[in-house]
Amino acid sequence: MTKDLYELGEIPPLGHVPAKMYAWSIRKERHGDPIQAMQQEIVPTWELDSHDVLVLVMAAGVNYNGVWAALGEPISPLDGHKHPYHIAGSDASGVVWAVGSKVRRWKVGDEVIIHCNQDDGDDEECNGGDPMLSPSQRIWGYQTPDGSFAQFCRAQDRQLMHRPKHLSWEESACYTLTLATAYRMLFGHEPHELKPGHNVLVWGASGGLGVFAVQLCAATGANAIGVISDETKRDYVMSLGAKGVINRKDFKCWGQLPKVNSTEYGQWQTEARRFGKAIWDITDKRDVDIVFEHPGESTFPVSTLVVKRGGMVVFCAGTTGFNITFDARYVWMRQKRIQGSHFAHLKQAAEANQFVLNRSVDLVCQKFFLGMTFRLRI
C-alpha cells in the first residue's frame, strides 16, 4: 500500500512518488545560523519538466554554499529563484525515482551521483560552446530551490553521472563539486591545460579542493607543490602524491599588496622571494606553470609573482577576501594569465568522475551525520 508521505528512514516502493516529502528548508525570515535557518519541514514533492529527473536521496554532500544560503549572505538565494523556500545541497548520491517525458539516458532504479551545473540548454554556448559560459548557467542547490537536503531532489537529466559502485552512498555524495571544480581549473582553460612534467602550486593542499588538485597532478604525471598552514598535514599531503610541501606560516608575505616602492613593499618582496626560493628548492629552480588559487585576497600578490612567464594563475574563489591585489608589472611584462574558473560542465565533470571510477583519485571524507532518509557527508 502506498502513502502520500513516508517517515524518515522509510523508503517508498521503487518508482512511487509520494505527494509530499521531508526537507531541510530555509525561509527568508529564518536567515541566520544554519542550525536555526535550516528547519525540517513537510513540503510538496517536486513536479518534473520533460528533461527533469527525481532522485531518492541516499546521501548529500555539505558545501559552504549551504552556509551562504542559510545566512542569506552576500545575497539571499530566495531573491533569485523567488520560490517561497530554499532547499540547499549541491552534491548527492541516490536512486532515480521518476523521469520526465523526454529523458532517455536514465531509468527508474539507476544509481547515480549529481553534479551541480544547470543551464537552459538553448543557446550557442550550450550547443557547441562552453555551457559554463551560458547566460542561463546556475548552480543547483544554491541558485535553484530544489537541492539535495531532502528525501527527494529534482535535477536535470544532464546533471546525472554513474555512481562508483566501489564507494558507499556517503562517499559517493561528498566529492563531485570540489573534484569537478579542480578538474576544470587544471584542464579546462586552453592552452594552459595540465600536462606531464608541469609544476603546480596548490594552495590549501589539505583542503577540499586542494586534495583533488594534488591527486589530479600526480595522476597526470605533474608535480604538485602543496601549501599548508598546519605542519601536522605535511605527511598527509605528501601521501596524496605531492612532490613537496611548504608551510605558509614560515613566511610573512600575506594579505593585500603594499603600495609599490614603499618600505612595506620592499619587506613584502623580500619575503615573497623567499617563498619563491622554497618553491625552487622543490622544482630544481623552475617557476611553476600553474598556480591553483582559491584563498584570493591573502595570497594573490604572491601567486602572480611566482608563476612563470606565460604561466597561469587560475582561481575559483576568494575565501580570505575578494579585494584582490597584485603588482601588475609582473603580469603584463611577463605575459602571465589570470583566469577565473567556475565549477564545470557535464563533459568535464564526467571526465573528473572517471578518475574516481578508475580509482586513480581517492576520496577524502572527514565526517558524516545522520540526516533524514539520507546522510550528510563532508
Identify the CATH number of the domain in which residue 91 sits. Answer: 3.90.180.10
Does residue 74 have a cis bond before it (omega within 30 degrees)? yes
Lowest mean pLDDT among 322-326, 345-349, 372-376: 372-376
Is 312 part of a structural domain of the chain?
A: yes
Q: Hunting for cell 539571499 — which residue is that?
A: 76
Is 358 part of a structural domain of the chain?
A: no
What pLDDT was estimated at residue 371?
Answer: 54
What pLDDT was estimated at residue 373?
Answer: 46
pTM of the model: 0.94
Contact 110, 159 (CB under 8 A): no
The neighbour count for residue 102, using CB atoms within 10 Å, is: 10
Is 10 part of a structural domain of the chain?
A: no
Cell of 134: 551560458
**Residues 117 and 69 placed together within one structural domain of the fold:** yes
Is 81 part of a structural domain of the chain?
A: yes
**Residues 222 and 115 placed together within one structural domain of the fold:** no
Q: pLDDT digits over 44-92, tens only?
A: 999 999 999 999 999 999 988 999 999 999 899 999 999 999 999 999 9
Q: What is the mean pLDDT of residues 260-264?
A: 97
Q: Hunting for cell 546556475 — which residue is that?
A: 138
**Residues 134 and 208 placed together within one structural domain of the fold:** no
Domain that holds residue 262: 179-340
**Residues 154 and 206 placed together within one structural domain of the fold:** no
**Residues 164 and 310 placed together within one structural domain of the fold:** no
**Residues 194 and 331 placed together within one structural domain of the fold:** yes
What pLDDT was estimated at residue 377?
Answer: 47
What pLDDT was estimated at residue 366?
Answer: 60
pLDDT of residue 141 exceeding 90, the answer is: yes
Which residues share a beta bridge with 154?
54
**Residues 27 and 160 placed together within one structural domain of the fold:** yes
**Residues 197 and 257 placed together within one structural domain of the fold:** yes
Is 8 part of a structural domain of the chain?
A: no
Contact 257, 263 (CB under 8 A): no
Q: pLDDT digits over 277-318, tens only?
A: 999 999 999 999 999 999 999 999 999 999 999 999 999 999
Q: What CATH number corresponds to the domain at position 335?
A: 3.40.50.720
Question: What's the 3-state SS for the chain?
Answer: CCCCCCCCCCCCCCCCCCCEEEEEEECHHHCCCHHHHEEEEEEECCCCCCCEEEEEEEEEECCHHHHHHHHCCCCCHHHHHCCCCEECCCEEEEEEEEECCCCCCCCCCCEEEECCEECCCCCCCCCCCCHHHCCCCEECCCCCCECCCECEEEEEHHHEEECCCCCCHHHHCCCHHHHHHHHHHHHCCCCCCCCCCCEEEECCCCCCCHHHHHHHHHHHCCEEEEEECCHHHHHHHHHCCCCEEEEHHHCCCCCCCCCCCCHHHHHHHHHHHHHHHHHHHHHCCCCEEEEEECCCCCCHHHHHHHEEEEEEEEECCCCCCCCCCCCHHHHHCCCCEEEECCCCCHHHHHHHHHHHHCCCCCCCCCCEEECCCCEEEC
Q: What is the mean pLDDT of residues 159-171?
A: 96
Cell of 77: 538565494
Amino acid residing at 360: S
Is 4 part of a structural domain of the chain?
A: no
Please provide the average confidence, as pLDDT, over all residues in the chain.
96
Percent of the chain with pLDDT over 70: 96
Is 354 part of a structural domain of the chain?
A: no
**Residues 91 and 237 placed together within one structural domain of the fold:** no
**Residues 143 and 210 placed together within one structural domain of the fold:** no
pLDDT of residue 378 exceeding 60, the answer is: no
pLDDT of residue 163 exceeding 60, the answer is: yes
**Residues 266 and 320 placed together within one structural domain of the fold:** yes
pLDDT of residue 170 exceeding 90, the answer is: yes
Q: pLDDT digits over 275-285, tens only?
A: 999 999 999 99
**Residues 197 and 160 placed together within one structural domain of the fold:** no
By DSSP bridging, strand 160-162 and strand 244-247 are unpaired
Q: What is the mean pLDDT of residues 354-375?
A: 74
Q: From CA 77, how far away is CA 272, in angstroms rounded? A: 39
Domain total of the chain: 2
What pLDDT was estimated at residue 372?
Answer: 47
Is 273 part of a structural domain of the chain?
A: yes
